[in-house]
Amino acid sequence: MSETIFKQEACIKCGICSEVCPVGIINKPTAETFPVITAANKKNCIQCGHCEAFCPNEAVELKGPDLQKAAGSQKQTAITPEQIGYYFPMRRSIRRYKQQPVDRQTLEQLLAIVRYAPSGVNRQPVSWIVIYSTAELKKLTAMVIETMSQMVKDKSPLASMMNFQNMVSAWEQGGDFVCRQAPHLLIAHARKDDRIAPLDATIALTHFELAAPAFGLGACWAGYFSIIANLSPAIRQAAGIPDDHVQLGSMLVGYPQYTPQRIPKRKHATILWRLG
């Protein structure tokens, strides 16, 4: 159970903590009172930490056994429109990797950053499995190929729509269009009955992909792996996904073999401006 501590000696009664609270449980300060969360409302706190993060005077502290501070949490980040306008378009899916493992510590650092991704009601429902062993990833990929091959034999419409035969043929010739011979695979999973978790997982994986280049890494959504894992209990079991959980997206990760040299073309944005 978390606790929000309002430090009256530091509070300047600006009321920002109350204004930014997403669930509206912090009573606004008045001339006579300080901000407070009533006992009845304490259970409604979603531990987003905005009261603490936005307080201009360090007068609020969210405490809880599961809560951990980010390193350098006081630093201001200033990313210019030019920097972000270059960085996002330059991000690429990486499909060729150096046959060099990434240290566990680096992946841990990345996943620690990904914890700051938004999630519905700040529940942070996504758990991770890192298929760190490249040999194990190869075995899982072989299982995916076997399933694809069976689906081709069974004339599955999905197999024909997604050209699984092509993946199987490539594998037979030593290629890997499923996991692209990446050294590692990251799997996002959450409870099957969680209706918001699929969105949360997509956002978290996107954060991972965007953060990876800062560590010299490249990533790529493993869509084929995900589709087949969701069809195959044997693959889910081999990957270590708990029975009551569902795979919500997977991502290849490793050191890129090639560096993109320019930004590819994209369609024009389709935007309807309703200006009143």
Q: How far, in Å, CA of 272 to CA of 81, rounded? A: 23
253 with 215: CB under 8 angstroms?
no
Q: Report the run of H or E that residue 221 belongs to, with start and end.
A: strand 218-221
Residue that is written with structure tokens 């993060």 in the block? 53
DSSP state of 117: S
**Least distance in angstroms from the C-beta of 172 to ligand FMN:** 18
Q: Which is nearer to ligand FMN, 17 or 205 (CB)?
A: 205
Q: Which is nearer to ligand FMN, 11 or 203 (CB)?
A: 203
Q: Report the run of H or E that residue 135 belongs to, with start and end.
A: helix 134-153
Residue that is written with structure tokens 């081999």 in the block? 238
Kindly state whether residue 208 participates in binding ligand FMN, applying the rule CB under 6 A: no
Measured from each CB, the residue nearest to ligand FMN is 223
Q: In this chain, which of 92, 123, 136, 162 binds ligand FMN, going by CB under 6 A?
A: 92
**Least distance in angstroms from the C-beta of 102 to ligand FMN:** 19
Q: Which is nearer to ligand FMN, 204 or 220 (CB)?
A: 220
**Least distance in angstroms from the C-beta of 92 to ligand FMN:** 4
Q: How far, in Å, CA of 81 to CA of 203, rounded? A: 21
Dihedral in degrees, nearest 10, Cα atoms 4, 5, 6, 8:
170
Rounded to 10 deg, the angle between the 223-231 and 134-153 helix axes is 70
Six token digits for residue 123: 């529940």
Q: Which is nearer to ligand FMN, 223 or 240 (CB)?
A: 223
Tell me which residue of 101, 147, 86, 126 sits closest to 207, measured CA to CA.
126
Binding residues with ligand FMN: total (CB under 6 A): 8
Q: In this chain, which of 13, 95, 123, 138 binds ligand FMN, going by CB under 6 A?
A: 95
Q: How far, in Å, CA of 76 to CA of 35, rounded? A: 26
Q: Report the run of H or E that residue 104 belongs to, with start and end.
A: helix 104-114
Tell me which residue of 48, 36, 42, 37 sits closest to 1, measured CA to CA.
42
Contact window for ligand FMN (CB under 6 A) among 33-41, 74-82, 88-96, 233-241? 88-96
Q: Which is nearer to ligand FMN, 110 or 182 (CB)?
A: 182
Kindly state whether residue 90 participates in binding ligand FMN, applying the rule CB under 6 A: no
Contact window for ligand FMN (CB under 6 A) among 58-66, 87-95, 106-114, 268-276? 87-95
**Least distance in angstroms from the C-beta of 94 to ligand FMN:** 8
Contact window for ligand FMN (CB under 6 A) among 38-46, 66-74, 91-99, 129-137? 91-99
**Least distance in angstroms from the C-beta of 68 to ligand FMN:** 30
Q: Residues 211 to 230: which contact ligand FMN by CB under 6 A?
A: 220-224
Q: Which is nearer to ligand FMN, 220 or 239 (CB)?
A: 220
Q: How far, in Å, CA of 60 to CA of 245, rounded? A: 36
**Least distance in angstroms from the C-beta of 223 to ligand FMN:** 2
User: Interface residues with ligand FMN (CB under 6 A)?
Assistant: 92-93, 95, 220-224
